[in-house]
């Protein structure tokens, strides 16, 4: 895939993650995972503002069905109101081990928030949960080494999920089954490309995978074969999302990098593609159990 890759911002993030394009505001929300910062970048000018959550690890931001923004902060879910409003309203605290921190997530077709949590000490005890009942988040997968990207298919029937250190992308099916979803390995990414990180689906069933350490975004076709690659001028590529007209927004990291060798590491990038993103489902506050 040949495409001009444009650097949109300064190298703002230690570990940029979880981009979300807001079409109605022409804005990209993205987080600095470990520094507790939520960025808001204007898609036209690249101007970026930030909100700080000091001392916290941030999971993904998501739009609600009412047009507001929610954000996973450690084990809490916060409503931030409309972008730029300065509102912070606490929605729920979830009974998740304090030794776990959020990493990435998404909402399914029913508006339920799914989030992967990584063990802070690095042990292989991560989890993927659905944030429904604050007192008992529903377990989807456990014993994960590094839970990461999550993307739901536009028909709402399936999803893809990454365990980075295993270099494995899983396919999750039967999402609405009362007995629980089925999970099976879909592909193992080639070692020479680094580790799979954040993902996004296009409307032709292709899966775009940010490759940590590889300086590339891979596109997998629906058959699970690599169908193209997009080179990024930074080695630590972390996550991707689509804009309205085929733009692919790409977050990066400068973690443990020499800034003189990779001066753009930690910036937000954009590339024009010939694809469009699959629908992104919004969070429904009604999905939370009130006990």
Q: Which of 244, 277, 280, 285 is nearest to 109 (CA)?
A: 280
d(CA 94, CA 6): 39
Domain span at residue 26?
5-287
Residue 245 near residue 275, CB atoms below 8 Å? no
Residue 33 near residue 58, CB atoms below 8 Å? yes
Whole-number pLDDT of residue 49: 96
Kindly tell me if the per-residue pLDDT of 176 is higher than 80.
no
Whole-number pLDDT of residue 3: 78
Residue 114: which CATH number?
Answer: 2.120.10.30
Whole-number pLDDT of residue 84: 80
Over residues 138-162, mean pLDDT: 95
Whole-number pLDDT of residue 133: 94
d(CA 158, CA 127): 19
pLDDT tens-digit profile of 76-90? 999 999 888 888 999
Angle CA 12–266–126, to nearest 5: 110
Residue 182 near residue 173, CB atoms below 8 Å? yes
Kindly tell me if the per-residue pLDDT of 1 is higher than 80.
no
Kindly tell me if the per-residue pLDDT of 120 is higher than 90.
no
Give the number of domains in the chain. 1
Q: Which of 166, 173, 160 is nearest to 104 (CA)?
A: 160
Residue 26 near residue 43, CB atoms below 8 Å? yes
Helix %, strand %, coil % of the chain (to 5): 5, 50, 45
d(CA 59, CA 38): 10
Rounding to the nearest 10 degrees, give the CA dihedral for residues 29, 34, 36, 38.
-10
Q: Which of 135, 181, 185 is nearest to 158 (CA)?
A: 181
Kindly tell me if the per-residue pLDDT of 105 is higher than 70.
yes
Over residues 221-243, mean pLDDT: 97
Whole-number pLDDT of residue 291: 53
Over residues 25-37, mean pLDDT: 96
pLDDT tens-digit profile of 257-272? 998 999 999 999 999 9
Kindly tell me if the per-residue pLDDT of 276 is higher than 90.
yes
Kindly tell me if the per-residue pLDDT of 41 is higher than 60.
yes
d(CA 164, CA 96): 21
Q: Give pTM, 2 decimals.
A: 0.96
The first and second tokens of residue 36, run together, are 């507790």
Whole-number pLDDT of residue 290: 62
The first and second tokens of residue 144, run together, are 């994960």
Residue 115 near residue 102, CB atoms below 8 Å? yes
- Sorting pLDDT into bands at 50, 70 and 90, what band is 210? very high
- Sorting pLDDT into bands at 50, 70 and 90, what band is 136? very high
Over residues 30-52, mean pLDDT: 96
Compute the mean pLDDT over every residue in the chain, rounded to the nearest whole number. Answer: 94
């Amino acid at each position: 895939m040949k495409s001009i890759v444009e650097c949109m911002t300064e190298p703002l993030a230690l570990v940029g993650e979880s981009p979300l394009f807001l079409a109605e505001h022409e804005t990209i929300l993205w987080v600095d995972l470990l520094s507790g910062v939520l960025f808001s970048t204007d898609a036209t000018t690249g101007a970026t503002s930030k909100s700080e959550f000091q001392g916290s690890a941030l999971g993904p931001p998501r739009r609600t069905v009412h047009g507001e923004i929610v954000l996973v902060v450690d084990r809490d879910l916060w409503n931030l109101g409309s972008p730029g409003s300065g509102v912070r309203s606490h929605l729920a605290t979830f009974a998740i081990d304090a030794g776990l921190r959020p990493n990435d997530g998404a909402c399914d077709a029913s508006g339920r928030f799914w989030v992967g949590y990584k063990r802070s000490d690095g042990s292989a005890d991560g989890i993927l949960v659905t944030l429904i009942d604050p007192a008992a988040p529903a377990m989807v997968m456990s014993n994960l080494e590094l839970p990461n990207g999550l993307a739901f298919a536009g028909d709402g029937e399936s999803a893809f999920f990454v365990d980075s250190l295993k270099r494995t992308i899983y396919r999750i099916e039967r999402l609405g089954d009362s007995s629980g979803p089925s999970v099976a390995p879909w592909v193992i990414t080639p070692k020479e490309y680094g580790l799979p990180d954040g993902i996004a689906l296009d409307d032709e069933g292709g899966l775009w995978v940010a490759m940590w350490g590889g300086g590339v975004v891979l596109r997998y076709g629906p058959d699970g074969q690599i169908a193209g690659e997009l080179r990024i001028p930074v080695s630590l590529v972390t996550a991707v999302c689509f804009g309205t007209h085929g733009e692919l927004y790409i977050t990066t990291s400068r973690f443990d990098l020499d800034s003189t060798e990779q001066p753009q590491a930690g910036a937000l990038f954009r590339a024009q593609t010939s694809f469009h993103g699959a629908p992104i489902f919004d969070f429904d506050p009604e999905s939370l159990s009130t006990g």
